[in-house]
Amino acid sequence: MSETGTEQYNFKIVRSFAFSALFWLVIGLIVGLWIAFEMFNPALNLAPWLSFGRLRVVHTNGLGLGFGLAGIFATSYYILQRLTRTALPFPRLAQAHLYLFNTTIALAALSLMAGMNTTKEYAELEWPIDIAVVVFWVMFAINVFATLIKRREKQMYISLWYIIAMTIAIAILYIVNNLEIPVTLFKSYTVYAGANDANVEWWYGHNIVGFIFTVPILAMFYYFLPKSTGLPIFSHRLSIISFWALNFAYLWTGAHHLMLSPLPEWIQTVAIAFSIFLIAPSWGSVINGYYTLQGNWEQLRTNYLVKFFIFGITFYGLQTLQGPLQGLRTLNAFFHFTDWVVGHVHMGTMGWVTMIISASFYYMIPRITGNQLYSIKLANTHFWLILVGQLIWTITMWIAGIQQGAMWKATNPDGSLMYSFLDTLTSLYPYYRLRFAAGVIYFAGILIFVWNLIMTVRQAPQKDEAEQPIQNKELQSWG
């Protein structure tokens, strides 16, 4: 392809991954609504494969691995080519990556419903699927590094650092945590026992959240915010400090998920300390985002994309304050195991993650299809629905969590427990109903999002589909 000098960016792969992400998003949310309903009315446990215990992991994997990873692949393939001014070196490999990825996620969902579940959170998949995940990850990594090595822009911009860090970290985390000995094709046992298994698992669990729901989302944020506003990021050097501090500190904090458990106390203490330190690099990115708009805040009204970015980074900021606080021993003793944590999770995923991925797709899809966005008005409706849905969802869960924690702890004057376990649970059902309703609002917003993008690509293209030649000006070496 490259010999003729008319190298083409490959945006077909971006588009395919973007629509894969939307597909898994819708599936994952339907399952989310299903389990949210089961939590106040067990009637939906219609069959073994629809029972709560099996479906909950379909929800978390479908959205984390299906929606999350596909969104990350779509935006990474786009950002990589743009920032390096280089076409994807191995387009066929990327195509194979797409097929393998979607097959793997489909098999993952089916196998989880069939009960093939290692029970290690966010690593529930059995060993053959683990191998498929590792293979598609390597396929992705080959294109990442080949593009970077061939690049025609000397310095790597911030987003590329985050993509590199993610590529490496997930490979390490995934392989170490999933070391297991097969019994049959469908069953294996982990190599770690008891407290060690817990420690490895939450080192993985916390960081898989970090390197799927934080690091690559920051890569999107740092790229698409400046691009869609036309404003350079406030400070490149602040982002350098934040980047290294975040990557260094993140890996020490897994044990804040194991507070007051039989895990050795010093590991827990170290985790608390680093969790608090994490506020600094996290807020480095928040500040960088806010200050980028300095003097141009009117864009919040005039540019529909800016809302997504600014609300998204605000939820990220809140999330990274709430996280360290609930990691403190005394607060964690109260909040651990309660609905409070579920609220924390969904502010991050429904607020920060989906807001940023939504805006990134709205920016990319029109550009790679050469079409206008089908409707900005619908995009605004989408924004308000997911914002309101998410706020009701999470606030409800925080209140539920406080009530749950308080009722578990409450004692009578004679020192006996005031509430039975079931008293507490049934007092939470009204909150679970409200959460379901909020989920429906959010889901309506997501359907509008999907519709808007489908209509965008289905319009008659204004430019010839997808491929745009790379311009050669400004490619002189410098620096």
Question: Which of 12, 97, 344, 367 forms a contact with ligand HEM (CB under 6 A)?
Answer: 344
Region of 156-164, 356-364, 387-395, 438-446 interacting with other proteins (CB under 8 A) = 156-164
Q: Which is nearer to other proteins, 254 or 445 (CB)?
A: 254
**Among 217, 233, 380, which residue's Cα sits nearest to residue 312?**
217
Shortest approach of other proteins to residue 60 CB, angstroms? 9
Region of 61-69, 165-173, 181-189, 224-232 interacting with ligand HEM (CB under 6 A) = 61-69
Question: Which of 200, 217, 286, 306 forms a contact with other proteins (CB under 8 A)?
Answer: 200
Shortest approach of ligand HEC to residue 427 CB, angstroms? 12
Question: Which of 58, 209, 225, 355 forms a contact with ligand HEM (CB under 6 A)?
Answer: 209
Q: Which residue has the tokens 């680093």?
A: 274
**Rule CB under 6 A: which of 262-321 touch ligand HEM?**
275, 278, 282, 316, 319-320
| 394 is a site residue for ligand HEM (CB under 6 A) | no
Question: Which of 26, 156, 342, 402 forms a contact with ligand HEM (CB under 6 A)?
Answer: 342
Question: Which of 23, 52, 192, 419 forms a contact with ligand HEC (CB under 6 A)?
Answer: 52
Q: Which is nearer to other proteins, 380 or 472 (CB)?
A: 472
Question: Which of 6, 48, 53, 131 forms a contact with ligand HEC (CB under 6 A)?
Answer: 53
| 331 is a site residue for other proteins (CB under 8 A) | no
Report the partner that residue 103 touches, choosing among ligand HEM, other proteins, ligand HEC, none (CB closer than 5 to 8 A by kind): none
Question: Which of 3, 301, 422, 476 forms a contact with other proteins (CB under 8 A)?
Answer: 422
**Rule CB under 6 A: which of 211-250 touch ligand HEM?**
213-214
| 264 is a site residue for other proteins (CB under 8 A) | yes
Shortest approach of ligand HEC to residue 19 CB, angstroms? 33
Question: Which of 43, 181, 422, 460 forms a contact with ligand HEC (CB under 6 A)?
Answer: 422
Neighbours of 66 (CB within 10 A): 25
Burial of 386 (0-12, 13-18, 19+ CB in 10 A): buried
Please tell me the distance from the alpha carbon of residue 336 to that of residue 324, in angstroms, as a whole number.
Answer: 13
| 235 is a site residue for other proteins (CB under 8 A) | yes
Region of 299-307, 334-342, 350-358, 379-387 interacting with other proteins (CB under 8 A) = 334-342
Shortest approach of ligand HEM to residue 281 CB, angstroms? 8
| 50 is a site residue for ligand HEC (CB under 6 A) | no
Q: Which is nearer to other proteins, 116 or 441 (CB)?
A: 116
Shortest approach of ligand HEC to residue 419 CB, angstroms? 13
Q: Which is nearer to ligand HEC, 53 or 264 (CB)?
A: 53
**Rule CB under 6 A: which of 79-138 touch ligand HEC?**
none
Tokens representing residue 198 in the block: 């817990």
| Three state DSSP letters for the chain | CCCCCCCECCCHHHHHHHHHHHHHHHHHHHHHHHHHHHCCCHHHCCCHHHCHHHHHHHHHHHHHHHHHHHHHHHHHHHHHHHHHCCCCCCHHHHHHHHHHHHHHHHHHHHHHHCCCCCCCCCCCCCHHHHHHHHHHHHHHHHHHHHHHHHCCCCCCCHHHHHHHHHHHHHHHHHHHHCCEEEEECCEEEECCCHHHHHHHHHHHHHHHHHHHHCHHHHHHHHHHHHHHHCCCCCCHHHHHHHHHHHHHHHCCCHHHHCCCCCCCHHHHHHHHHHHHHCHHHHHHHHHHHHHHCCCCCCHHHHCHHHHHHHHHHHHHHHHHHHHHHHHCHHHHHHHCCCHHHHHHHHHHHHHHHHHHHHHHHHHHHHHHHCCCCCCHHHHHHHHHHHHHHHHHHHHHHHHHHHHHHHHHHCECCCCCECCCHHHHHHHHHHHHHHHHHHHHHHHHHHHHHHHHHHHHHHCCCCCCCCCCECCCCCCCCCC
C-alpha distances in Å from residue 264, one per residue of 77, 249, 272: 42, 20, 13
**Among 438, 321, 309, which residue's Cα sits nearest to residue 361?**
309
Question: Which of 54, 307, 382, 435 forms a contact with other proteins (CB under 8 A)?
Answer: 54
Tokens representing residue 151 in the block: 């690049």
Q: Which is nearer to ligand HEC, 53 or 430 (CB)?
A: 53
Neighbours of 128 (CB within 10 A): 15
Report the partner that residue 261 touches, choosing among other proteins, ligand HEM, ligand HEC, none (CB closer than 5 to 8 A by kind): other proteins
Report the partner that residue 349 touches, choosing among other proteins, ligand HEM, ligand HEC, none (CB closer than 5 to 8 A by kind): ligand HEM
**Largest pairwise CA distance in the chain:** 86
State the residues that interact with ligand HEM by CB under 6 A.
29, 32-33, 35-36, 39, 56, 59-60, 63-64, 67-68, 121, 209, 213-214, 256-257, 275, 278, 282, 316, 319-320, 323-324, 326-327, 332, 335-336, 341-342, 344-346, 348-350, 353-354, 439, 442-443
Chain positions contacting ligand HEC, by CB under 6 A:
52-53, 421-422, 425
